[in-house]
Structure 1
């Protein structure tokens, strides 16, 4: 006996999201050991570059809060990024006990830090505007569900 599964549009979309979540989990595991900076380090670099481009500063504490990780984890990550030549530290002129994290090489292309994001942006640019709006709204709702899990 053969069981037929109906593949309506909603089921196809839900399965695609599940495949995406599994691929993201596999990528995160690969990045932990095989593939350069961790996902948190990549997110940190994106945040540091975005803040620098906006003329704002970033402290290690702000970075820890943004990434929702401990200060100790941030310290280790920043040490590795500094050793890799991606960031530098400058003294906070109003509080000598604190420091700011700045990108070391302003010529660093954010897409080089995370080429997956660059490819996703290119794919998104190919979507018609109305489709892009629907996809974005759908993915935002999926993200909200994921963020709310175990929160």
Structure 2
């Protein structure tokens, strides 16, 4: 059975079973490879996307439960350019291996949209659900802090 799913501003006809995790629909059916499979149980954050503006783990979200628009890392930039968080990631040389970074960026954007100028403790708490094997947490924090201080998110 097919259904419509709005992803990155475009409506798509989805043919996957309703129980299929959103992550696999994004990657396998729509070809959007930015969201990564990490743990499969919603604990690492590599699969984070926005559903109706909220950071959600796509590996544990059945596609049948998604009725609001989805934004992936591929949809974050606009015609005007990269999102300020993406710019800060580049400016602060955040990625090392890069595997977790799309989820980190999507979580950081959600945080800054919810709270444009969070204090350092709020940044640490909000981002604690995103794991980075390379340990780039200080650079992640600095990039988020830079956007919060500049007020560009």
Q: TM-score, normalised by structure 2?
A: 0.32
If you compute each CA radius of gyration, which structure gives the higher value, 1 or 2? Answer: 1
Higher relative contact order (CA 8 A, sep 6+): 2
In terms of fraction of residues, the more helix-rich structure is 1
In terms of fraction of residues, the more strand-rich structure is 2
Q: TM-score, normalised by structure 1?
A: 0.32
